[in-house]
Amino acid sequence: MQKIFFVLIIGFTLFISCKKKPDPVPEPVIVGLEGDTCRISKVSYGPFQKIIYEYTGDRVNKIILQIDGNEYPGVLEYDAEGKLTKVKGLHVDTQYEYDSKSRLIKENRTLHNEGVYTLISHWEARIFEYNNENQVAKCSYLEGRGTDYNSFYVKKGEVYRYETYLYDFQGCVEKLESYERTPRSTKFDRTAVYIYQYDKLINPFYGHPGIYDVKTYFGADSGNGVLTFSKHNVIKVTANGMSENIGYTHSSTKYPLSIQNVRWQENHFPDLNLEYVNCK
């Protein structure tokens, strides 16, 4: 986000008060090829767990989760304006709602089989709220199972967790705060604070969370808003005072090929390996 500061100099009859002009905010920079058509085609960790993206033109039409020899395909549907409306999966359908500004405001999940709760994150819906810059500022999770299945003793359809996001001048999530419902209460406790630092390279996961929220496809209990809401790649995370660095190798077009030390809920992924199609 570009900000322009004006200095107002006011002259008085008896004296003139001058203030030092503030340092200008640097311009956002994305290092990459202009008009590059590179698209992510595969995300894998370990030899047996992969997410595969299939395209029609530059639009994702299918997402296939491969785990231990099993495949879980999701077919994507779009409206006439090109907005993602549905991901039809083997065990769960996910539908998306938008406001009058075409901003994603809600993700609804419907299970086909009540017996697959152990395979799928237990939220019924995610609600997205925005700041004045049209950036996602808050994401709330609605309980999908009910009190028999969760440790929060939250009824089905109630919010049990939410996250808030603050952004830096380049359009990346600089700070994430996570809140969880106090058991048997309507109150929320702050459970974590994350501070992020970024490179200036293209983040291949930036975009619609229904497509690029890879941790949820791998079964995470919450989304990875930093990945999908930030334009660049995270290189350092400070969580509750403890810092970790994230390493990358890159292609000749400056896209990540492997990512090391990626946090997975309370521990870490093995190295993530990425592949692409249609790169110039």
> Looking at residue 114, what is its pLDDT?
56
Give residue for tokens 């020899």.
69
Instruction: Give how far Cα 4 sits from Cα of 86, 200, 277, Å.
Output: 40, 21, 38
- pLDDT tops 70 at residue 239: yes
Mean residue pLDDT across the chain: 80
- pLDDT tops 80 at residue 3: no
What integer is the mean pLDDT of 67-73?
87
Phi and psi for 113 in degrees, rounded to 5? -135, 115
CATH class, 91-277 region: mainly beta
- Separation CA 40–CA 113 (nearest Å): 30
DSSP letter at 16?
Answer: B
What is the chain's length? 280
The model's pTM is 0.81
- In this predicted model, which residue has the larger pLDDT, 270 or 206? 206
